Amino acid sequence: MLNKSPSNELTIYLTTTVYPPLQRYLICTPGVGKTTLGKELAQRTGLTYVNVGDLAQEGQLFDGFDEEYQCPVLDEDRVVDELEDKMGDGGVIVDYHGCDFFPERWFQIVFVLRTDNTNLYSRLEGRGYTGKKLQDNVQCEIFQTIYEEAMEAYKEEIVHQLPSNEPEDLERNLEQVVQWIEQWVKDNN
């Protein structure tokens, strides 16, 4: 369990590839492991886990429905307003599949989970993704869309990629992130 204080805030952002149409983001589960990683990381560290998709669902923070992708359209401004106080307290792990609408000041580190395209295709297909939604999500991973968005939205030195292909990757990623957190706490206390 890690201690946190308002003067030494720690927030972590986990993101994965899910195809977001320009100018908005969709609530879709990509199946690459960010929720599993985020929840386990919160359990091991005592940090607060926030799944933006769940937050949006609970607060109905949507701005319509995308018929083409068959999912709600996130109201980004309302999500930021909803998270503002929580983020100011620090000690938060944020789980979402887009990143450029979150304020840069919120995060000390951003982890982008990456999955081999064959694995991603199978996982998404297993979750019922078909047609354009399936193809666009896989293409988003091929073209590193989310990683590039993160590199543009945040300082390059805080954006890191983690592999998420095999079950063993979860434990390696957890160990790596926990070590980073422990070092951050030492350096900032």
Chain segment 43-73, per-residue pLDDT in tens: 998 888 999 999 999 999 999 999 988 889 9
| DSSP annotation string for 164-183 | -SSHHHHHHHHHHHHHHHHH
Q: Which pLDDT does position 156 carry in this prediction? A: 93
Pick the more confident residue, 42 or 31.
42
Q: 143 falls in which pLDDT band (50, 70, 90)?
A: confident
| Average pLDDT value for the chain | 81
Q: Which pLDDT does position 35 carry in this prediction? A: 86
Q: What is the pTM of this model?
A: 0.83
Q: Would you state the structure tokens that stand for residue 39, as one six-digit string?
A: 């929840």
> What three-state secondary structure class fits 6?
coil
